[in-house]
Structure 1
Amino acid sequence: MSRSLPSTDTAATSSDDLLVAHGLRRTNAARTVVDWLRAHADSSWTHAQLQESLARDAAVTMDRVTLYRLLDRLSEVGLLRCRVDAERVRHYQAIVDDAPSAPHFECKSCHRDLPLSGQLDKTNAELAQAAIAAIQALQTLGQQSLSVDLAVRGICGDCAPASKGMAR
């Protein structure tokens, strides 16, 4: 579970206000990336996916290195959630309303990232409490800037050969 540094209602705050509140410069690139990711906050994006989507949807061509550095800075200050998958690829997602990260399923075959927030509603509260307890225990040991990311990895139903044609 990630937390952003300043406690602001990010859903109702402009990208300029968010950047200033987090100590970042208000550049056109930063505004574009923050606005685009906030508009697509229900999904996580790799660097390559984001670069392609910005070029296609926002007609913005951004240098690879500039985008990498910007994503790192935005993650560092708590505006984006950064998760590394089993293939060591980073996925970025906007943090809206200080919402905790939802558990997700990552398919080892097709590499789709499927959020499990709706499927695990009953256990989400228990998972959140376990994550909070783990963070609090580590904080008492002096650890800082902690986050918890629950990822379940396996083969999705679409990729599993045994599940094709079976009733679920």
Structure 2
Amino acid sequence: MTKPPIADPAIAPIDALLTAHGLRRTSAARLVLGWLLAHPDTSYTHAQLQVALAGDADVSVKADTPALDRVTLYRLIDRLTQVGLLLCRVDSSRVRRYQAMPTSVHAIPHFECQTCHRDSPLAGALKANADDLERAAQTALEALRALGYQGLSMDVAVRGLCVECASDAAA
């Protein structure tokens, strides 16, 4: 008698998310969503995500999948974004960046450095004002839903130079 395979407890929540959003639970979907969920405060371009996934041997071994080709990754990112599991931002250089969509968030304030393109969440920096922003975002989204718009999310971006790039520029 053979023993049933032991389920990886880290995969179960990812499978549940994929199933709840009507997606197939493929090893590629587990790999991409798992990586982005493990790095929630970082946004990646398509190319950065492909390099990160290819460079993390532990993730590839756990997911039991070969490296994703460029087109498969594009399609997977697109599907994950369409169902609301990923947030897609377009920066000032018109580059798309993706990150895991936090649950129950209507507006995600973030700071994007114009030089190094690091993306930093601002919720902690805004502290008390983050609640005001969340209420304003909710009001705007409700007004748009009343007009018939669907599948809404909101992105609040502040752009400029981060502390490190500003001090490098001053030096």
Q: Report the TM-score, using the length of structure 1 for normalisation.
A: 0.82
C-alpha separation in 2, matches of 1:25 and 1:151: 32
Note the alpha carbon deviations across 1:112-157, whole angstroms, 9 max, x for none: 2121121111210111111111111112211111111000011222
Residue 67 of structure 1 pairs with residue 66 of structure 2: no
**Can you give the 5+ residue segments of structure 2 that lack an aligned partner in the other structure?**
1-9, 61-65
Q: Higher helix proportion, which one? A: 2
Higher relative contact order (CA 8 A, sep 6+): 1
Tell me how many residue pairs correspond in the alignment.
155
Residue 133 of structure 1 pairs with residue 132 of structure 2: no
Equivalent in the alignment of 2:7: none
**1:101 Cα shift?**
4.6
**Can you give the 5+ residue segments of structure 1 that lack an aligned partner in the other structure?**
1-10
Q: Letter of the 1:49 partner, please give it.
A: Q
Of residues 102, 117, 124, the one that matches 2:123 is: 117
Q: Report the TM-score, using the length of structure 2 for normalisation.
A: 0.81
Question: 1:158–1:164: 8 Å Cα contact kept in structure 2?
Answer: no
* Structure 1 pair 45–78 and aligned structure 2 pair: CA distance change class (3 A): same
C-alpha separation in 2, matches of 1:139 and 1:147: 11
Question: 2:112–2:119: 8 Å Cα contact kept in structure 1?
Answer: yes
Q: Which of the two has higher C-alpha Rg?
A: 2
Residue 34 of structure 1 pairs with residue 33 of structure 2: yes
C-alpha separation in 2, matches of 1:92 and 1:162: 27
